[in-house]
């Protein structure tokens, strides 16, 4: 590791120390120090993004990994606390730093959106996933777009209770997963099922019925008895509500 980079990382003073960069190897061993404690609560210090970028040239993904490890440690420490008094600090800033260093860090977007939502910041989770979607459009080689849309649907459904926006996100995920380069039959089915569920919650029974009929036909063609039974029950439930 260049001495200048090693010295700059040490000067960040927030617990990241580069240990060894093996010659000819791609791995970097990073030691993260124990969390500082202040009044019994774990602190999560986040350095300024400009400072990190200034010293990270060529090592952005390595530093993103190191910051991600500390983020996971912090999240684990918070989960062990009493939920009534638990307070997350600087989570949004930390995730923006990580994804700024490595724009293709899938886990930071997906897992990070759950942490933000659980911490009481679903709008920030929504913004994080929308950031991932925008970047995925610019770098199609790192395509994870359907998963980001699907996760966005869950954040809007579970935390924001915005069923209309959730339905649109689930539908985008299903549409994208239905063809290359995103082809994913499982995600396509899950996206359609959630789209139907959101439509039913909005009392759009006709739309929900149309989607369940499509799922039923797909299941018949694929000889998927499990999905046939699920779709048949949903259609029967919708017919019962109309009668």
Residue 149 pLDDT exceeds 60 = yes
The pLDDT of 134-150, averaged and rounded, is 79
pLDDT digits (tens, 9 = 90+) for 46-70: 888 778 888 878 889 999 999 999 8
Residue 11 vs residue 145, higher pLDDT: 145
Q: Kindly report the pTM of this predicted structure.
A: 0.78
pLDDT value, residue 15: 39
Residue 242 pLDDT exceeds 70 = no
Residue 44 vs residue 185, higher pLDDT: 185
Q: Nearest Cα to 69, choosing from 100, 29, 39?
A: 29
Residue 198 pLDDT exceeds 80 = yes
Mean of the per-residue pLDDT values of the chain: 81
The pLDDT of 168-187, averaged and rounded, is 92
Domain boundaries, the chain: 1-102, 139-243
pLDDT band at 162 (very low <50, low <70, confident <90, very high): very high
Residue 80 vs residue 144, higher pLDDT: 144
The pLDDT of 210-234, averaged and rounded, is 95
139-243 fold: 1.25.40
pLDDT value, residue 140: 60
The sign one gets for the Cα dihedral 166, 169, 175, 179 is negative
């Amino acid at each position: 590791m260049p001495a200048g980079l090693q010295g700059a990382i040490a000067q960040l003073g927030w617990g990241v120390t580069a240990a060894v960069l093996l010659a000819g190897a791609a791995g970097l061993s990073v030691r993260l120090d124990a969390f500082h404690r202040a009044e019994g609560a774990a602190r999560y210090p986040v350095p300024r993004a400009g400072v990190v970028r200034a010293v990270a040239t060529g090592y952005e993904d390595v530093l993103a990994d190191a910051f991600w490890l500390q983020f996971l440690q912090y999240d684990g420490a918070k989960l062990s606390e009493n939920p009534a008094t638990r307070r997350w600090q600087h989570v949004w800033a930390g995730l923006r730093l990580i994804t700024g260093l490595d724009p293709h860090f899938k886990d930071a977007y997906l897992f990070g959106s759950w942490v933000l939502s659980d911490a009481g910041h679903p709008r920030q989770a929504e913004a994080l996933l929308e950031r991932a979607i925008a970047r995925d459009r610019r770098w199609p080689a790192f395509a994870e777009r359907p998963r980001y849309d699907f996760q966005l649907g869950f954040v809007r459904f579970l935390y924001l209770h915005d069923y209309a926006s959730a339905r649109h996100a689930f539908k985008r995920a299903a549409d994208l997963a239905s063809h290359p380069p995103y082809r994913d039959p499982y995600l396509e089915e899950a996206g359609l099922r959630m789209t139907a569920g959101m439509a039913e919650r909005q009392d759009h029974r006709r739309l929900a019925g149309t989607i369940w009929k499509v799922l039923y036909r797909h299941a018949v063609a694929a000889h998927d008895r499990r999905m046939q039974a699920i779709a048949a029950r949903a259609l029967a439930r919708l017919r019962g509500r109309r009668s």
